[in-house]
Structure 1
Amino acid sequence: MGRALMVLGTSSGAGKSLLVTALCRIFSNLGYDVVPFKSQNMSLNSAPSIEGGEISRAQYLQAIACRKRPSVKFNPILLKPEGNMRSQVVFMGKPIGSVSAREYMLSRKEELFRKAMEVLDGLKEDHDLVIIEGAGSPVEINLKDYDIANTRVMLHAKAKGILVTDIDRGGSFASIVGTMELLNEREREAIIGFVFNKFRGDASLLRPGFEYLERRYGKPTLGVIPYVEHRLPEEDSLAEFPKVKGEPHIQIIKLPHISNFTDFEPLHWANGVDYVTKAEEIKGDVIIIPGSKNTVEDLLWLRENGFEDAILEAHREGSFVVGICGGFQILGEKITDTVESKRGTIRGIGLLPAKTFFGKVKRTNHLRAEVLWGPAKGLAVEGYEIRFGRSTSAKPFSVITAVNGVKTFEPEGAIGKRAFGTYLHGIFHNFAFTERFLNSLWAERGLEPVSIEGWSMEEEIERLSRVVERHLDVERILEELGV
């Protein structure tokens, strides 16, 4: 039977996801057979698993850190917010319904928790170590009785716990004390120590606080992790949409049901990027409509709030327009939806020669493709698809050459005049493609070519894990785990 280590946080955004990612790689490098786990995650950013279902991007990243293929077992329950206090419930990678927060708490939660714990038990049987991520704070008084992502998981798994806090926010000692005081005796006993995350400065100045915590709780501070600039996706519950100064200007429309906005992270490092919420702001050299959790509702929102006219006007004046997944569907000629919004056939914006209808089965796959569009023609790229939509176009953007490693030949996406759309989430993480796309536009303005610094997720995971390992008492953690 394997062991379990759980990372709890004093709040959302404390750094749990990235600490788990680093621990997964650290223990994998030490030779342990390690896997991640989060019983329930709420996220707009999902990714495909080896089984074909959806999991959170956080657990997807953690699986890569463990050198494992991402599995639905690592994130059995995924809640995808739909607005109006409702979420789509995804269990073991498959949607099982849409419920309000109250309905979920009173009807489905306990059943799904029991099933999730069966999955966790299986992971402990099959692996040396399971690194479990908590959610938000484990001691929210109004939620603790319903919480199936924190201390109930820790106690069920007989896991050792680490409590992490974001010291960059301030009040971290108080947040640790408050959390410990609101834990019950069994929960406090399971905690083996504290980690201070995102620290800038001289850690020796914190010693009086460490001594206080050890006197009060008999628990050591296991590490002070410095603030690290990185390019790995964070959890999106507190995600801030950045405004990166610079020219030329890339604008991404912040749809009401925006999803998978991690697609655009490479653009933040290369150019001026702005997430826009008002039609009068539309004036970018590049305008991107991102993925959507409810495509037709977001299309109607764009139309009712003046965005459609603004996009068409900007396009006439020379802006290049891109649509990713739901954004691609929105830019097409029409959408027939009897599945998601159930609104029937709706006219699209019309910049792409594509027609879309919604199937009842969601496609969630890793894809390899060959680009058919202009400056990147013939380039091999990869990404993933998560969609109900099925689209046809006389001018496809690419040909899918492999689905989950199985060879195929399937046109996808569409090319229009100064516009393209694709179902490939992660297209901009193919840096050769991104450079060719941007430089084709910059050349029109006589600008110097841009170069996106070579980067890989593997390298970023290794770099982060090395920093964490230098500042964390890994030996003490291993000793507490008894491995």
Structure 2
Amino acid sequence: MKARTLMVQGTASSVGKSLLATALCRIYARRGFKVAPFKSQNMALNSAVTPDGAEIGRAQYAQAEAARAVPCAEMNPILLKPETTSGSQVVVMGKVLGSMHFRDYHRRKPELREVVGQALDTLRERHDLVIIEGAGSPAEVNLKDRDLVNMWVAERADAPVVLVTDIERGGALAALVGTLELLEPSERARVQALVVNKFRGDPSLFQGGVSFLEKKCGIRVAGVIPHLGDTGIASEDSLDLRPGEATGGALVCILKLPRLSNFDEFEPLMREPGLEVRWCERPEELEGARLVIIPGTKCTANDLHWLRRTGLAGALVQRVHAGQPVLGICGGYQMLGERILDPLGVESPEPDVAGLGLLPVVTRFEKEKATSPVSVRLGEGLPGMRTAGGMEVRGYEIHCGRVTVAPEARPFGTWLRRGNEACQQTEGCVAAGGTVAGTLVHGLFENESVRRAVLTELGVTAGASRADPYEVLADHFEKALDLAYLDRMVGL
């Protein structure tokens, strides 16, 4: 028997679809159901690597964790990673299909619908319940003829739909009513529940709004969700990027690159009491930083030019010469090197770009992307985390750039495992007496031991361990949702 389905759609982007889907994954998983998340198409620069080396959206990876399921490509068969305002790298079933203008991508949607349908069928054959997430709004009438993520999926999965809105944005009632008005009768009939998200104050004060919606729309309001604040769960894309609070703690600065990717890996660091983590776009913002991090990027050469235009490149060089620590991760590591070569035009039309010259490495881009979970033993004397030397930590790699390190250079660490293969190879590079370093490993700060090393270096006392964020999220939503009604919708 195929799994039952429940779909979460929204009145707009970033209204809480992902969080509601994540909460439902954990709620039903802890009731004993075998649950899987599914989002046919995700557009985000935050991605994750499955155990078998497939690249999927970070939100679906988190939802799989919430569902206590093994993440796989079928959970997010299409991932779009924007490279320009009109084009993206297209990842299909975990592997790069190519870079496309959005017009060309739309032309390929008929064949991609077959991929999406097969991925959904595979998940339904292996699970009891599939929680499906839409994208944007189902009322985007200009996209309906090419839809493969909202009502087309709901029909393909024969899924009842929960429509969620964000009351914090204002206009929540109009957003729900307007969205329903723009749906076709058959689509509107699939919407069987409304959810109002991020309500501040006493939810009972919104009872008038609930009565209005149920009378106006003829659809039950299945929950008014109180505002939760920081969930402790990795963010999906740059719309979720929150500025760090000025706490007066030890300052760590991260460069806010134009094509910043995988920024979610720094969120555990941002949650540490005693640290002030600041996203920076100007040289003067680095003043007083105890550690500066250059994060990953989807467009390394372009973002390197941005560093030069803003004056940040010069500020980084001055910082290293003054003995102040700088750490580059993935694309940030590559920028710190001597040259970035891209003769095949994988990321940039420029075949040869000079790096910052702070590390003795050269990067050459290749068509095939390296994606795998990894484990690494960290080297000694790393900038900003000297006490982390010798630690074995887990992370992941996602990159097209292949980095060649000068033979005499000091490594950042040693690969212990890449994917399913054990190995003993040097990784990354450290220079200037431990002042500047780079690594291809994402996810370092998701390791508590590494965060503790940073805190020790900066003289900050570690805070208490946090509760399981998926349990906290599930408890929060479970109290506010009419789960008995949702069960009847699904047919449980």
Same fold (TM over 0.5): yes
Q: What's 2:269 paired with? A: 267
Query: Which moved further from structure 2: 370-379 or 277-286?
Result: 277-286
Per-residue CA deviations over 1:318-344 (Å, capped at 9, x if unaligned) read: 421010101011112333222332533
Distance 2:186 2:212 in 1: 21
Distance 1:372 1:78 in 2: 34
Q: What's 2:47 paired with? A: 46
- Residue 316 of structure 2 is aligned to residue 307 of structure 1: no
DSSP 3-state at the match of 2:240: coil
Which amino acid is the alignment partner of residue 139 of structure 2?
Answer: V
Cα distance change, pair 452–412 in 1 and its aligned pair in 2 (3 A): farther
Distance 1:46 1:462 in 2: 23
Which amino acid is the alignment partner of residue 380 of structure 1?
Answer: E
Q: Show the 5 A alignment for 1:208-227.
A: 208-227=208-227
Asked if the contact 2:4/2:128 (under 8 Å) is kept, the reply is: yes
From 456, 475, 483, the counterpart of 1:466: 475
Q: Displacement of 1:310 after TM fit? A: 1.3
Which amino acid is the alignment partner of residue 419 of structure 1?
Answer: V
From 338, 345, 348, the counterpart of 1:333: 338
Q: What's 2:437 paired with? A: 420
Distance 2:19 2:205 in 1: 25
Q: Displacement of 1:84 after TM fit? A: 3.1
Per-residue CA deviations over 1:112-141 (Å, capped at 9, x if unaligned) read: 123211221222222211100011111023
Q: What's 2:329 paired with? A: 324
DSSP 3-state at the match of 2:452: helix
Which amino acid is the alignment partner of residue 277 of structure 1?
Answer: E
DSSP 3-state at the match of 2:239: coil
Per-residue CA deviations over 1:4-36 (Å, capped at 9, x if unaligned) read: 100001111111101111101111111111101
Q: What's 2:384 paired with? A: none
- Residue 380 of structure 2 is aligned to residue 379 of structure 1: no
Q: What's 1:109 paired with? A: 109
- Residue 116 of structure 2 is aligned to residue 124 of structure 1: no
Asked if the contact 2:455/2:462 (under 8 Å) is kept, the reply is: no
Distance 1:68 1:410 in 2: 31
Gaps of 5+ in 1: 443-447
Q: What's 2:298 paired with? A: 293
Q: What's 2:462 paired with? A: 451
Per-residue CA deviations over 1:228-275 (Å, capped at 9, x if unaligned) read: 131112331522341321332221112122111112112222322221
Asked if the contact 2:177/2:217 (under 8 Å) is kept, the reply is: no
Q: Show the 5 A alignment for 1:90-239.
A: 90-105=91-106, 107-229=107-229, 230-239=231-240
Distance 2:312 2:393 in 1: 31
DSSP 3-state at the match of 1:238: helix
Asked if the contact 1:257/1:294 (under 8 Å) is kept, the reply is: yes
Distance 2:174 2:162 in 1: 16
Runs of 4+ in 1 over 4 A off after TM superposition: none
Q: What's 1:24 paired with? A: 25
Per-residue CA deviations over 1:364-396 (Å, capped at 9, x if unaligned) read: 111111111322111111111001122233211
- Residue 369 of structure 2 is aligned to residue 362 of structure 1: yes
Distance 1:264 1:71 in 2: 23
Asked if the contact 2:412/2:438 (under 8 Å) is kept, the reply is: yes
Q: Show the 5 A alignment for 1:53-92.
A: 53-92=54-93
Asked if the contact 1:282/1:314 (under 8 Å) is kept, the reply is: no
DSSP 3-state at the match of 2:258: coil
Per-residue CA deviations over 1:281-331 (Å, capped at 9, x if unaligned) read: 333222111101121222233234322111111223342101010101111
Query: Which moved further from structure 2: 160-169 or 276-285?
Result: 276-285
Distance 1:95 1:127 in 2: 27
Distance 1:58 1:180 in 2: 26
Cα distance change, pair 359–104 in 1 and its aligned pair in 2 (3 A): closer
Q: What's 2:4 paired with? A: 3
Q: What's 1:352 paired with? A: 359
DSSP 3-state at the match of 1:235: coil
Distance 2:476 2:286 in 1: 41
Asked if the contact 2:235/2:241 (under 8 Å) is kept, the reply is: no
Q: Displacement of 1:50 after TM fit? A: 3.1
Asked if the contact 2:262/2:296 (under 8 Å) is kept, the reply is: yes
Asked if the contact 1:4/1:132 (under 8 Å) is kept, the reply is: yes
Asked if the contact 1:285/1:318 (under 8 Å) is kept, the reply is: no
Which amino acid is the alignment partner of residue 52 of structure 2?
Answer: E
Distance 1:38 1:124 in 2: 13
Which amino acid is the alignment partner of residue 430 of structure 1?
Answer: N
Q: Show the 5 A alignment for 1:243-258.
A: 243-245=244-246, 246-258=248-260
- Residue 417 of structure 2 is aligned to residue 402 of structure 1: yes
Q: Displacement of 1:352 after TM fit? A: 2.2
Number of aligned positions between the proteins: 474
Q: Displacement of 1:346 after TM fit? A: 3.0
Asked if the contact 1:366/1:384 (under 8 Å) is kept, the reply is: yes
Q: What's 1:445 paired with? A: none
* TM-score for the superposition, normalised by structure 1: 0.94
Distance 2:111 2:316 in 1: 46
Q: Displacement of 1:191 after TM fit? A: 1.2
Q: Displacement of 1:2 after TM fit? A: 1.4
DSSP 3-state at the match of 2:45: coil
Q: What's 1:411 paired with? A: 426
Which amino acid is the alignment partner of residue 93 of structure 1?
Answer: G
DSSP 3-state at the match of 1:259: coil
Which amino acid is the alignment partner of residue 426 of structure 2?
Answer: P
Q: Displacement of 1:467 after TM fit? A: 1.2
Which amino acid is the alignment partner of residue 438 of structure 2?
Answer: G
Q: Displacement of 1:211 after TM fit? A: 1.8
Q: Displacement of 1:102 after TM fit? A: 2.2
Q: What's 2:450 paired with? A: 433
Taking only aligned residues, the RMSD between alpha carbons, in angstroms, comes to 1.8
Per-residue CA deviations over 1:64-123 (Å, capped at 9, x if unaligned) read: 111111111000010000023111111111111212222222x11222123211221222
Gaps of 5+ in 2: 382-386
